[in-house]
């Protein structure tokens, strides 16, 4: 049972990471592999089941991602989702066509076979999430239809003898009413998994693997003090101890007092003071570089490039004391996905300076292995937190509010200046302080203040003001891929507004952002 795993084959679908997450919620290990993986390698992994993801292509086009028909004869249970369902039908002799009517979003779906292992205790009439222009016009021999919609005659199909199942809708997304139950039925009832995998297993396995891989070599980590880099640092510390060196680049774009707080935790007198901790104060360099820059993606890239420059200088200096074999990063799944760094057809939503490592010439110069160590690369934020708790990291650190690598550089809309950063630092500190007083659980999402580039007329006392508008953001999310605005009590928002306007010089308006993700991103930029 310890080796139970489900493999997700990626055909370019945007929800592939959510599929893996849902399977792990069943306490079954799951990993994503490219659709190009060989059947031999797939067999050697001994998966209990395989899930085929959605994707943006049409299965009948020659350039579309495909798979060997033999995949469906391995005797391994397979679930095809959206494009994966159409690929299953197409490869096994069914017919896939352009749908007369495309379906997008919430769709009423009716179960035709309540005896199906997938639908045995699922409501006969429920809402699912559809996103397709093609549809299965005719099921392959041996299959029968198990669900339909008003516009899609094959919303689900199966061949229970060969343990092949397919859904045109996306059971992995929260919008599918019975989706979690359907996926659980596939993992537990069809694949026969027992659900014994835990985050503790991940931590133990990862520490052992890191120790075996690294041996006696030294590792260099860029430490931000956020959840991801903290957990990465502790995993590596448990694996290799003083062979780990952590460089903290303080770019002056951190939250109020955060630089000192990071040093207090990881410095010589901190809880994790056994690390080799180096702090580099570089705020002046960053502000000079960002002068006049307003476009958010350019700011991200410049901040990332400057980090690489400063980190590289420190790496060169430290390399002179004995050299390093590896660089480590706190990369997690959403970073990889949003950077277009995994699988086929992934779109770049935003760049992340912690994805991809150092420039190749610097890697060669310093003698780093070309593949950085990224022990959290396959985890979601909530899973990272679970690992952190398993490692004994204090809860207040594990549930620290997420903070982007570029910091307040992207929470200040428009040009970044020391004065604007001061404003947003003060406003953000007040906001989070009041949320804590009100007993609002910030661990279920992300809550922060941002500074708009809008200035407007106001009145304070007997004087006319022309100051900035602060935007408060609060979202609820478990995976940071989708998010909804948090319903913060009006009285709490009023208190935040009053304090920010009264206590933070340069602000005369406070607004609350209600935008969900999608269509927006979590950050204001």
Indicate which residues carry an active-site annotation.
82, 170, 172
- Alpha carbon separation from 413 to 269, 294, 432, 454, 499 (Å, rounded): 37, 7, 20, 9, 22
Question: What does the alpha-carbon distance between residue 411 and residue 74 come to, in Å, rounded to a whole number?
Answer: 50
Q: Choose among 448, 437, 433, 438: nearest CA to 485.
A: 448
Q: Any bridge partners for residue 451, and if so which?
A: 412, 470
Neighbours of 395 (CB within 10 A): 11
How far apart (Å, rounded) are the C-alpha atoms in residues 149 and 154?
Answer: 8
Give the closest residue to 199 by CA, choosing from 386, 28, 335, 396: 386
CA distance 78 to 158: 10
Closest to 222 measured CA to CA, from 361, 347, 373: 373
Q: Give the whole-angstrom CA distance, residue 53 versus residue 59.
A: 13
How far is 281 from 288, CA to CA, in rounded Å? 14
- Please give the radius of gyration of the chain, using alpha carbons only, rounded to the nearest integer: 25
Q: How far apart are CA 6 and CA 32, in angstroms?
A: 9
Distance, in Å, from the CA atom of 182 to the CA atom of 401, rounded to the nearest integer, reads 32
Residue 465 in 3-state DSSP?
strand
SS (H, E, C) 100-152: EEEEEEEEEEEECCCCCCCCCCCCCEEEEEEEEEEEEEECCCCCEEEEECCCC
* 517 three-state secondary structure: strand
Distance CA 92, CA 240 (A): 50
Encode burial over 195-225: b for 16+ CB neighbours within 10 A, e otherwise.
Answer: eebebeebbeebbeebeeebeeebbbbbbbb
**Calpha distance 372→181 (Å, rounded):** 37
Spatial separation of the C-alpha atoms in residues 499 and 64, rounded to whole Å = 56
CB contact at 8 A, 149 and 109 = yes
CA separation for the pair 363, 365 (Å, rounded): 6
Q: Which residues contact 24 (CB under 8 A, 6 or more apart)?
A: 30, 197, 383
Segment (H or E) for 386: helix 381-390
| C-beta of residue 323 within 8 angstroms of C-beta of residue 367 | yes
Report the alpha-carbon distance of residue 186 to residue 320 in Å, rounded: 54
Write the DSSP symbol of residue 242.
G
């Amino acid at each position: 049972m310890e080796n139970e795993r489900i493999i997700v084959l990626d055909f370019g679908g945007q929800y592939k990471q959510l599929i893996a997450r849902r399977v792990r919620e069943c306490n079954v290990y799951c990993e994503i592999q490219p659709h190009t993986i060989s059947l031999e390698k797939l067999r050697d992994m001994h998966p209990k089941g395989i899930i085929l993801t959605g994707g943006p292509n049409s299965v009948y086009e020659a350039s579309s991602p495909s798979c060997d028909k033999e995949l469906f004869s391995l005797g391994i249970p397979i679930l095809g989702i959206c494009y994966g369902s159409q690929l299953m039908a197409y490869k096994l002799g069914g017919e896939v066509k352009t749908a007369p009517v495309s379906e997008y979003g919430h769709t009423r779906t009716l179960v035709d076979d309540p005896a199906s292992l997938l639908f045995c205790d699922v409501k006969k009439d429920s809402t699912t999430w559809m996103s397709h222009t093609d549809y299965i016009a005719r099921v392959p021999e041996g299959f029968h239809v198990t669900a339909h919609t008003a516009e899609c005659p094959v919303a689900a199909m199966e061949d229970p003898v060969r343990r092949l199942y397919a859904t045109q809708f996306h059971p992995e997304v929260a919008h599918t009413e019975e989706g979690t139950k359907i996926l659980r039925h596939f993992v537990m009832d069809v694949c026969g998994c027992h659900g014994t995998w835990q985050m503790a297993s991940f931590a133990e396995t990862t520490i052992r693997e890191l120790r075996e891989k690294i041996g006696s070599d030294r590792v260099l980590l860029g430490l931000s003090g956020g959840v991801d880099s903290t957990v990465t640092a502790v995993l590596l510390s448990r694996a290799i101890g003083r062979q780990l060196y952590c460089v903290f680049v303080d770019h002056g774009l951190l939250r109020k007092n955060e630089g000192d707080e990071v040093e207090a935790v990881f410095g010589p007198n901190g809880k994790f003071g056994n690390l080799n901790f180096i702090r580099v104060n570089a705020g002046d360099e960053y502000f000079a570089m960002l002068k006049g820059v307003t476009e958010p993606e350019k700011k991200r890239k410049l901040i990332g490039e400057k980090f690489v420059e400063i980190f590289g200088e420190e790496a060169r200096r430290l390399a002179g004391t004995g050299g390093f074999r590896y660089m480590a990063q706190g990369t997690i799944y959403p970073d990889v996905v949003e950077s277009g760094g995994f699988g086929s057809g992934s779109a770049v939503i935003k760049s992340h300076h912690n994805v991809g490592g150092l420039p190749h010439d610097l890697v060669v110069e310093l003698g780093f292995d070309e593949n950085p160590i990224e022990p959290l690369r396959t985890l979601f934020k909530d899973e990272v937190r679970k690992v952190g708790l398993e490692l004994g990291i204090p809860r207040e650190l594990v549930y620290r509010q997420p903070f982007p690598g570029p910091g307040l550089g992207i929470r200040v809309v428009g040009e970044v200046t020391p004065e604007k950063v001061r404003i947003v630092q003060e406003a953000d500190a007040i906001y989070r302080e009041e949320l804590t007083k009100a007993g609002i659980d910030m661990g279920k999402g992300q809550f922060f203040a941002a500074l708009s580039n809008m200035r407007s007329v106001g009145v304070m006392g007997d004087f006319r003001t022309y100051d900035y508008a602060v935007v408060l953001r609060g979202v609820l999310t478990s995976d940071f891929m989708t998010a909804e605005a948090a319903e913060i009590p009006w009285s709490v928002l009023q208190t935040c507004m009053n304090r920010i306007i009264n206590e933070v010089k340069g602000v005369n308006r406070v607004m609350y952002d209600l935008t969900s993700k999608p269509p927006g991103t979590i950050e204001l930029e």
